[in-house]
Each structure stands twice: as structure tokens, then as C-alpha cells.
Structure 1
């Protein structure tokens, strides 16, 4: 793109003005983001990119107060592809486990969403993304469809506090391969092997190339949608370089059993990166990546759960306080509310909630000596009036 003198260009991390043929840029406070995509492709907080084929559980982020572990396993023996199977968050000695089928467990027990305890919040931002937020400023998005992917963001004030596969987060990519033994490795394999949680895992390897010429042709043909100068991705080209994402899409799709799942995850990774830079891409899922939502839900490229649940009618919706990268997926349209069965209904069909207790619509209860009835997702209570004084007093 060509900019005129004094014209500005804003990104998520900089504001720039064109002067005398050069950009004069002002840095804006910017979060660091670690990305684990297609189970093989890693980008550290300081934007160092590497690939690996793992078969173990690894420390992704290690801090003094919390840890994120990831479990990588082969997806299909014949194709020797690595998939992200589980993500574990350990905070204050409490474990939260996220599985690739979209379930969340705490200390072995399945957790109902939305969930809030202590300084951890977990909720479903869309049918395809789970959102985690902590009071420390750490945010985590766990993509569960079409394949499991992981995005972790940290505020600028967290710089210098991390180790693990996501790097050191100190604006210096040169020391991102800091091993668990405090040695900066030259190559990723020795670095990755040092951050294994289990000692008896097989050695980490480099990813395999394309498994067939047919797969390679299909991958290059369909991943090239990212490069189309007039296609659905074009409006982001001047902000996010598509070449790395094209190469990642081809590599992942080449080695994939469920080839369209990997293709759509690769295209979606570019969409997510564009959203992180403030650009929402639309109409990119046509044909191959089209998603069928349940009857009451709709697909949006900027889906939000904020104030779209029956629970939000009864009490303040804490999900509204979490600002992270916009995500795509199915959910309730504006004006509808998701009930406990994940069906989008009118407010008149919503139950009510009070201190963890569910009250069906139209049900009457007594609260603090007052009769209350559940209507439109809210409890309506009638304050008792004092009896009038008897005659003669």
C-alpha cells in the first residue's frame, strides 16, 4: 500500500506517520503472544518461529506463580503428524485440563462453563474457542475445532517472567531457546527436549514433509487462497505477511490425515493473526471450511458471549470484562440468550439463577421473606407491605 505524506498507519503495537519518505513510529503498549498451531508450529512471545514433531508433555510457559503444559501426540501413525491433545493450566496448585473435545476438568472433575474461581475465569467465547483469563493479565484461547490450537497472551509488565517453549518474553528473540538448564541452545530440538515434563518420552523430531504429491498439490492449491490479491484475505495483506502462514498451511495440510481440517485450521490461523491486529476477515470459509451451526445458533467472525447467556440476565456477566483477540465460531445472535442446553432462546424462555441455584421460568420462590417469580431471566420480588393499623388505634 502507498501512503501520502503525513498519513498515519496504525497497528496493534505501533502508530506511524509517513514523513519525508520514512515512517516515524510510536510504540504502543502491546501484549506478547505465544502461538501453538497445527500441533507443530510454534511462535514465541518474542516472535521466534520454529517447528517440531513431539510425542510428550512439555512445559509451554513457566512462571513463578502459574504454569501451562501441553501434550503433543501423533495423530495418525501412517502420517506421523503431531496433534495438540491437551492443555494444562496449573495455578496455585490447582490443575485445569482442556481436552481436544472441548471439555474442561478441574482436579479430575468436569467443569461447567462459564466458570469463575479465585483469579481464574473460563468460558466458551464461541463453539470453536475456549477463553481463559487470570487476574495477573494472562489470557489464553484454546481452539478446539477443526483442530486444537493454543494462543497465550501476556501484558507488557510480564516481560522477563517466562521460560519454556514459548520463550523468555523480553523483546529479545535471540535467547528464546533458553533450555531448562539455563543454556541458550542454537537449535530448537535440544531446547524443546529440555522442557519435557516426562523423562521417558521419545525424542522430539523435525516434522515430516508432504506424504504424497497429491497431498502437496491439494495443499498448495487451496492454501494459495491466502495469497489472492483480490480474495477474502487480501484486506489483511498490508498488515500481516501471508507468506509464513501460507508455508505453515501447506506444511500442515501436506502431512494431514483429515486434510480439510488442517487446511481450515491453517487458513484460520491467518484469520486469528489478522484479528489480533484489528482486522476482522469475513467470507473466508466458503465451500471447504463452511461451518454448520446448530439450529438456534449463527456463525460470526467476531463472536462474543458477553450478555448473550441466560445467566447474564440474572447477574453481572464477568465475560464482558475480558478483552482478547476476536474469534470466529457459532454462538447466539444479539438479542438471544444461551440456556443450559446451549440453545439460543428469547429472554422470556430463560430460567433464573440465584447464588448458584437454578429457578425455572415462571417458578415462584421465597427470598428473605419476599415472594419472587422468575420472568425474562430475572427474579421479580414483591416487597411485603406492613398491615394497616386496626380500627380504634
Structure 2
């Protein structure tokens, strides 16, 4: 807790989950319990979104957005703040805000974490609501009831919710109803015609207020661009193809067709003087 690890033994009773259940841990508990099988949503790249129902979206908005939210019970809300690094038509996830009632957790660059504006050391426990830990190079947030958020400290975030939230979710991650065809629902529950309209409908102004002096200075963001672009390209291709591809994509490569070459990782051309292309302008 607060950066100090204390160990104690606890005997857990045998656990046998049903076919539609999976074991899950509650903050502060060593013994798992059965919860309805979870689904996960991911934001990665510049950025791309894979919804709870498996739909792949491409949206380069550079503001704050609702990523995943319990729109029925209001248990939690996960927001992302995207940054365009001074370039139109491209963005990346700068930070993640997890709102749990009156508690606000921010997952920042380089795996820094704040709780209600205070920088905390990991692991951090706030029983029974919240537990945040660092596993290898990934920050993992566990929250009641069954919410899990994984953050790589750079630009990739994954949100997992138990099956008890089926049909209750909203945001860029979709509604988690088992049908990918209706994932482009805006806050009013209406299907929107384009991914750009859908993404913009979930914009939230207050996400900008989550920022503090802990964010990276602009000069450091610029220095990170080249390295992260190369790393993210390989990572995106691996995620999208599922085949572990390792490809070299030179700066003069042609634009890929997102629709024709279904699952291409980049939605913009790569040019020697920077990335340009036809993404929606914010």
C-alpha cells in the first residue's frame, strides 16, 4: 500500500465458476470470486479502438472523450485525453481518467498515477474501492465492481468489465450488447452515420481540466514522436492481424486503404517530413 508491499497468507476456498463466468479479484481481497465473463475494449495507435463487441474503429480526435461508461447505474466512467502532437489528422492517447464516484484516478505518461490530484506510489490500495499496481511495465487498476483498466504509460489502454455490465455500457467502447453493428451509438442512443460523428459525440470538455504539471513538456513529446511511431506501427500490426507480424514500413510507403486492406494499422501516410493524410480534422 502506498508503495509498500506487505505479504500475508490467506487460505481461499475452492472456486468453481460456471461456463459464462470467470474468476475476478476485488480490491484488498486475495481470494477470487465468480463474475459474469468479462469483455474488453482497447485504444491504441493513432488512435484505433476495438469495442467490447469487437468492432474496429478509427478516430483521430484530439480532445477528451468518454471511452467507457456505465450509463445505467453510473458506477464508473473512463475518459481518455488525446493529443495531436501539433499535427492535424493524427492523435494519440495522452492520459486516462477513471472516475469512481467521488474518487478521480489519473493514469499519466511514464506510468505516473494520481488519486484526487495527489501523486501516489504503487501499489496503492483504497479499500474496498480501488487497487492500483504495476506489473512489469503496465499499470493495472482494479476497481469495484469488476472494472479493470490497463495502461502502458504511453498510448495504449485496455478496459475490461464483467458480463454483468452487458447492455449497460456506452462511450467509444460501444454498448456491450453482443452486436458490433450498432456500436456507433451516440449519447442520445441514436446510431450515427460515421466514425468521426460518433467519436465527436462523446467529447467531454472537463477532461482537459484533469491535466496538471505532471504532463510531459511539449519538447519532450516531440522528441518521443519518432521512436514511438516506429514502435507503435509494429505493435498495431501485431494486434490487428493476430499473427505476430514484424514488418518494416519506410517513410515513403504508400497509404494503406483501411477498408480495402481491412485491419491496416495506420490511417495516414508516412512521409519524410511528418505524417499527413485525410483523417478528420478536429
Shorter-chain TM-score range? 0.5 to 0.7
Q: Paired residue for 2:52?
A: 45
The alpha carbon displacement at 1:40 in A equals 1.3
SS of match in other structure, 1:254: strand
Offset of residue 85 of structure 1: 0.6
Contact 1:181–1:194 at 8 Å: present in 2 too?
no
- 1:92 aligned to 2:101? yes
Shift of 1:39: 3.6
1:73 paired with 2:80, answer no
Determine which of 116, 123, 126 is the counterpart of 2:133.
123
The separation in 2 between residues aligned to 1:57 and 1:225, in whole angstroms, is 26
Matched residue SS, 2:92: strand
Runs of 4+ aligned structure 1 residues displaced above 4 Å come to: 221-227, 250-253, 255-259
Structure 2 residue 266 is the aligned partner of structure 1 residue 254: no
Is structure 2 residue 124 aligned with structure 1 residue 108?
no
Per-residue deviation, residues 127-182 of structure 1 (Å, max 9, x unmatched): 2x1001123111111012xx310101112222011111110001011221110122
Please list, as runs of the form range in 1=range in 2, the aligned pairs for 1:312-391 lying within 5 A after superposition. none
Superposed counterparts of 1:149-160, under 5 Å = 149-160=156-167
Give the TM-score of the pair, scaled to structure 1: 0.45
Structure 2 counterpart of 1:55: 62
| Correspondences of 1:281-320 after superposition (within 5 Å) | none
- Structure-to-structure mapping, 1:161-310, within 5 angstroms: 161-198=168-205, 233=244, 247-248=264-265, 250-251=266-267, 254=270
User: Structure 1, residues 2-45: CA drift from partner, whole Å, max 9, x if none?
Assistant: xxxxxxxxxx99xxxxxxxxxxxxxxx74211010114101110
- Using the alignment, how far apart are the partners of 1:90 and 1:223 within structure 2? 28
Give the count of matched residue pairs.
198
Q: Secondary structure at the match of 2:111?
A: coil
Distance 1:119 1:55, change over 3 A: same
Deviations 1:41-66 (A, max 9, x none): 01110011110111210111121111
Of the three residues 137, 141, 150, the one matched with 2:150 is: 141
**Residue 38 of structure 2 contacts residue 160 of structure 2 at CA under 8 Å; is this kept in 1?**
yes
**8 A Cα contact 1:133 1:139, kept in partner:** yes
Distance in 2, matches of 1:253 and 1:179, equals 29
Distance 1:224 1:39 in 2: 9
Structure 2 spans left out of the alignment, 5+ residues: 1-18, 21-35, 209-229, 246-260, 276-282
| Higher Cα radius of gyration | 1
Q: State the alpha-carbon separation in 1 of the partners of residues 167 and 149 from structure 2.
A: 19
TM-score by length of 2: 0.61
TM-aligned CA deviation for residue 186 of structure 1: 2.4
* Separation in 1, partners of 2:237, 2:42: 22
Which SS does the other structure have where 1:81 is aligned?
A: coil
Unaligned runs of 5+ in 1: 1-11, 14-28, 202-217, 235-242, 260-393
